[in-house]
A and B are shown apart, each in its own frame.
Chain A
Amino acid sequence: MSAVETKIVTRRVGVVPPFDLEAYRADSGCRALEKALSMTPAAVTEEVKRSGLVGRGGAGFPTGLKWELTAREEAESKYLICNADEGELGTHKDQLLLEGDPWRVLEGMTIAARAVGAGKGIIYFNEHFRSIAEQWEEMIRAAEQASLLGDDILGSGFGFRVKVCLGRGLYIAGEEMALIASIEGRRPTSRDKPPFPTQHGLFGLPTCVNNVETLANVPDIVERGADWFRSIGLEDDLGTRVITLSGDVKEERVREVAVGSSTLAEAIETFAGGTRSGRPVKAVQPGGGTSAFLAADALDTPIAQQAIARAGSSLGTAGIIVYEEGHSIVDAAVSCMEYYGRESCGRCAPCRIGTVRMLEILKQVQAGQARPGSLDQLRRIGYACAVSSTCGMGQAFPEPVLSALKLFPEEFESQLVAAPNATR
């Protein structure tokens, strides 16, 4: 079967001119905001909660619950942060939304701010999105003039202002605690939770951090209602996912699909034209560069969190990275490790040391110089990092290596230096 698109958050992309308020309004833009302003903040949160929307930034936290936790805090001021740092390997979905339908994202931010009671907003862009960030600066000024931002939005009495931050090239800054530290002008490192950002976030104030795609879903949920949203996707995993297809594919593509509506194989064939060489798929990482590899026998897995987890990986950012037959899995694991090793913030020891040691061993394997015990060592270090690192990065970066060792052990073993009494 071929995969089909279901366009909700990408509906206007390439159709309605972006950064054009008139065009946005003519295409029913801002209606959700008007509706949200006529509702109580608690009712808006309840609607989002009932919709079942979960975060699209990788961790899958229920959005309505996060809003409720933020709203519950007593504080003179609160923050709403839109995480536009999109740094996960093989993931370009947020970029599409930020430049393809920016007013939608801003409308989602404003509705979220209203729901949680945030008067201050920050959008934090990946350094590669500089030109998009500049267009956002202009859009924000236009929004202030149109009374869509400011002290009294559309005469409702609700005030919300947004500031633009441009990242400076650190992947870890996308992790929410590091993101907050970055905006505060401190070293961007994660820290233990609790307290959660919803309690003690930016400058100590209650802070709701949401991903771009999460916020982009909000206007339609508010306007069309939770029941409409619940009719899309699977019972336990609702709505759509904006997937990125990359790696050994004919065409890199970003497409929006209803959760569970197509399998990995169908999406790769239909949207990306299959593998680059036409050879069969050997493996995929379904949730970006920190997700575990799945082998070809898992290609029939539907694109849905539970199904992908049962197959042994994670849907993460829905960045589907394809590896075709002939692509060395050792090389693939090395590329992932090189990227994440460079990006370790260095604050906690497992990640700081583990990334270096694992890359060292992998490079020895690659060069045919690793001893038989090395693979066990690789597994042990990877496991230790996964269970003892502070943040999601340290917990996740060993996944590709560990899964590659499990799925394709012979590729590693065949490159070892033969040793007497070798057990593996």
Chain B
Amino acid sequence: MPPSEANWKPYRDLLRKFGPLEQDDVFRVLGAIQDAYGCIPREILQDVSERLHRPLAELYGAVTAYPGFRLAEPEADR
């Protein structure tokens, strides 16, 4: 289910705060997304991958390595 327009807003807001994204912002952006959403929604990870020209698989590998990152909010896990 694609996220609604409202769900993109926190992401757009944090992107605005970052300004033009640089390669070395990638981990910081992932952190900011996790903090804003309580998880890193797939569609948003996809968008980060496109913006920074990074393979989605690589970012997925990174995100799933840390206890402090989640792909879905805990209650949505099951």
Contacts and interface: CB of A to CB of B under 8 A. Distances in A.
Interface string A140-179: 0000000000000000000000011111111000000000
A168 B28 contact: no
Interface in A178-203: 182-188, 202-203
A163 B27 CA distance: 11
A183 B25 CA distance: 8
Contacts of A170: 65-67
A170 to B, nearest CB: 6
B61 A186 contact: yes
B54 A185 contact: yes
Contacts of A345: 65
A120 interface: yes
A164 B28 contact: yes
Contacts of A167: 68
Contact of A185 (B26, B34, B67, B68): B26
A203 B24 contact: yes
Contacts of B27: 165, 182-185
B41 interface: no
A122 interface: yes
A185 B30 CA distance: 8
Interface size class of A (residues with CB under 8 A): 20 to 34
B58 A169 contact: no
Interface size class of B (residues with CB under 8 A): 20 to 34
A213 interface: no
B24 A120 contact: yes
B11 interface: no
A169 B63 CA distance: 12
A186 B69 contact: no
Interface in B1-60: 23-28, 30-31, 34, 52, 54, 58-59
Contacts of B31: 165-166, 168
Nearest to B64: A187
A99 interface: no
Contact of B24 (A122, A168, A186, A187): A122
A165 B26 CA distance: 10
B5 to A, nearest CB: 27
Contacts of A163: 24-25, 28
A168 B52 CA distance: 21
Contacts of B28: 163-166
A185 B66 contact: no
Nearest to A168: B68
A328 to B, nearest CB: 29
Contacts of A202: 24
Interface of A: 79, 120, 122, 127, 163-170, 182-188, 202-203, 345
13 contacts: A127-B68, A164-B28, A165-B27, A168-B69, A170-B65, A170-B67, A183-B26, A185-B27, A185-B62, A186-B58, A186-B61, A188-B62, A203-B24
